[in-house]
Amino acid sequence: MAEQADDSVAVWQNKCKDLEKIVKTLSSHCFKLVEKHEELLKKYKENEQQYNQLADRLKTTEEQLAKMGKLYEPVYNEYEKIKNKFEIEMECRHHAEEYASKISRENRNLRRMSQMVSAKHGVSLVEFNLESENSENKDTYEEYLETLNQKISDLKEENSQLTAELKKFKEDYQIEKDKKLNYSKQNERLKTEVKQVKHSLQQYEAALANLSKASDLAFQEYEKLKGSYEKEILCRDQAEKYASTLFAEKEAAKRQSTMLLMEVASDRKLMKAMVEIEDLTRQLEQQKRQYEEQMSDLKEELTSLKDQELLTSLEQENQQLLEERGSLQTQLARLESQINDLRSQYTKLSDEYENIEKRLEEATRPPPPPPPPPLPPPTKKLGLFGRRDKKKAAAAAAAAAASGGKNGSKPGVPTNDDYSKAIDEMMKRIKDGKPLTRAPKQVRRPSCPDETDGSAMNELKGLLTNLKKASSESDLAAPIPADHDDSEFARAFRKIRRPSLEEEGQGDNAVKSSGNDGENQTEEVQRRKGNMAGPKKLSVLAESDESTE
């Protein structure tokens, strides 16, 4: 029974919680709808005010237009009358001027004729003072003309004023007409908006009525469930109390039965003690139940207090977060302004960098190649003493190569192909204007011959002798042209290559002095020997020519 009651209570609790959630959602929706309804009412009132203002403006403009129309008709009629009068007066003036000119002509003709008649017949005619009459007529005529001209000028001024006013009235009429069209369009648009607002208001009112009905029904059901829940809680408390009393009585009966079955029943003191113990246990259970109820009540109070504390803490956190958001927004705006400034600076610096790069390119652009140097002047052929000096120099070089001294020259005679290649390279350099770069000078170290360097030096000497034999055999087999021995190119080549040969010889001695790196430097020495083949060939060719001579 107790378990069933607990299950039913849990079910009703869940239902009650669900209904509370539904009521909360419905109440929130109701509040939102009420707010929307109020906003729509405000908008509707504002639109009504605007509509009334526009209607008043329309009425005033229509009244003004009606007044303008009333004023326009008499003004136009008066203008037509004045125009007709002016036309009539102008015609009368033209007729009067024509008639006056005609009469003046006739009077002049009659005067001439009368003078002719009097001259023929010798009769003295009475002279009429026609000029005075004409002058009087002219004066009256001029006065009349002046008055007419004055009237015409006045009428013209009035006409111009009336035309200007008429144009102004027409422009005002057109402006008011355009305004009326705009106001009518706005009025129609506002009418459609008002209709839409009314329709939406009706829909919202219907939805509000439905929601109010649903909320009333939900509230009634909630009240019923709340009452049933309270009743069930009371029933549950009573059932728990009744079950606890039954359980206590059951336990007491069990104890009494065990005591009766035991041998303790014969002793009265023990029986009294057992009865007191049962009473105490009963009291303990009652106190325990009371304490449990108090604990449950206190737990509920604690949960409510915790919820309030949570709400206050959440509100404080919300305020702090809002303050942090404001500060972060200000920082973000400041950083955006800084970023914009940095971007502008970056664009300026990039432009400056491009300009500097262009200037640097213009500054570092290589100058045009210089013109090729002039060829050396042709030298005369060596005489007998020069040949003898050359023979002595060749013999000294051969002796130095055989002795293997410290600064000895490199043996071996290169091929004609190497010589032609060297000359071609030299001519290309001269044409391109690129000077021959010398090899870096190596500082000569003091040679201290040790007993440990004997093996490396011996190996180097053996390699050099092998190279000498191979190159000499190949060059002896090749035909040597006679034009290369004493030509201008050969002499210039010898002059250019002599200092480089001396520097390379010093580098070879430095290589010999290094003991541990002997094997690696032998390859470099061989490569240099091959590169030096061009100038040595010239000296060997010169010696061979002298020997043949």
Closest CA to 173 of 293, 27, 62: 62
Domain identity same for 479 and 533: yes
**Which of helix, strand or coil describes residue 9?**
helix
- Structure token pair of residue 240: 């728990």
Residue span of the structural domain in which 292 resides: 262-345
The DSSP symbol for 349 reads H
pLDDT tens readout for residues 375-431: 665 554 444 444 555 555 556 555 555 444 444 444 444 445 677 777 787 777 776
CA–CA distance, 463 with 461 (Å, rounded to integer): 5
Domain identity same for 181 and 315: no
- Structure token pair of residue 548: 């043949």
Domain identity same for 222 and 268: no
Q: How far is CA 105 from CA 113, 142, 144, 545, in A?
A: 12, 18, 21, 145
Q: What are the two backbone dihedrals, phi and then psi, of residue 172, each rounded to the nearest 5 degrees? A: -60, -40
- Structure token pair of residue 213: 């009905």
pLDDT score of 3: 67
pLDDT at residue 437 greater than cutoff 60? no
Domain identity same for 224 and 269: no
Using alpha carbons only, what angle is made at residue 59 by residues 58 and 61, rounded to the nearest 5 degrees? 65
| Per-residue three-class SS string for 389-425 | HHHHHHHHHHHHHHHCCCCCCCCCCCCHHHHHHHHHH
pLDDT at residue 98 greater than cutoff 80? yes
Domain identity same for 173 and 36: yes
pLDDT score of 406: 40
Closest CA to 419 of 542, 319, 524, 503: 542
pTM, full prediction: 0.26
- Structure token pair of residue 279: 């009473």
Closest CA to 485 of 528, 531, 547, 430: 547
pLDDT score of 405: 43
Q: How far is CA 121 from CA 102, 107, 126, 129, in A?
A: 29, 21, 14, 22
The residue to which tokens 């057109």 are assigned: 174
Last residue in a domain, options 329, 345, 361: 345
Domain identity same for 207 and 295: no
Q: Mean pLDDT across the stretch 125-145? A: 59
Sign of the torsion formed by the C-alpha atoms of 99, 101, 105 and 110: positive
The four Cα atoms 374, 380, 384, 389 give a dihedral, to 10 degrees, of: -10
Domain identity same for 165 and 291: no
Domain identity same for 267 and 232: no
Domain identity same for 80 and 160: yes
pLDDT tens readout for residues 336-372: 888 878 878 878 887 888 888 888 777 777 666 666 6
pLDDT score of 314: 77
| Contact present, 514 and 457 (Cβ < 8 Å) | no
pLDDT score of 99: 85
